[in-house]
Amino acid sequence: MKHHHDDTVIADEAVRIEPVPAAVQATAVASDAPSFLGAARARRLPTPRWHWLLVAGLALLLVLQSVLADRARLAADAGNRAWLGALCGVLRCTLPAWHEPTAFTMTSREIRPLPNQAGVLQVQASIRNDARWAQAWPALRLSLSDADGRVIGSAVFTPAQYLGEDPGAALLEPGQSARIAFRVQEPAASTVAFTFDFL
């Protein structure tokens, strides 16, 4: 041991410092890291399966709501009518009546003048619904023509007018027939032809 002039004592032999093993150093470094970093790693968990099921269920519900809100327009297409009818059967919703005027068939018709009533014509006919679904009673347009094919008069009749009263049922079922009868005032004595159109 040596004494320096300022009374500092210096040991003759240096003290040996043992190196710290690498594993211990890594542990020390890890322990010095901020605690919030470890917590962030622990929170990184896989998304539970029920989250995806919930998202899929909400998406399906949104699609179903859109279909129900737009069902009147969709049901006007024959390709959609069947499955929409089945869906509404389950959900207890209603569809508007099918509307296909060209599917009405006039199976018989007759126009004749009424005796003792000048210019008054008696119209009688039978109609049938040939559509796949029930339809509301149609409006009926009667057009009268002369010998040259010119239309000399026409009128549109509601179900109450051509049936004489409001129909007992709001719809005409598929294949169902009905007789109609009404009177019209002939616009001119030259009427030789008549046509019916369902509207």
Domains and CATH numbers, the chain: 1-96 (no CATH), 101-198 (2.60.40)
Please tell me the predicted confidence (pLDDT) of residue 146: 87
CA angle 67, 69, 70 (to 5 degrees): 65
pLDDT band at residue 176 using 50, 70 and 90 as cut-offs? very high
CA atoms within 13 A on the CB side of 189: 2
Query: Using CA atoms, how far apart are residues 1 and 171, in angstroms rounded to an integer?
Result: 122
pTM over 0.85: no
Please tell me the predicted confidence (pLDDT) of residue 36: 54
Please state the φ and ψ torsions of residue 187, each to the nearest 5 degrees: -70, -25
Please give the residue that has the higher pLDDT: either 17 or 154: 154
Please give the residue that has the higher pLDDT: either 145 or 6: 145
Per-residue pLDDT of 66-98, as tens digits, reads: 666 667 777 778 888 888 888 888 888 888 889
185: Cβ contacts below 8 Å, ≥ 6 apart:
119, 120, 121
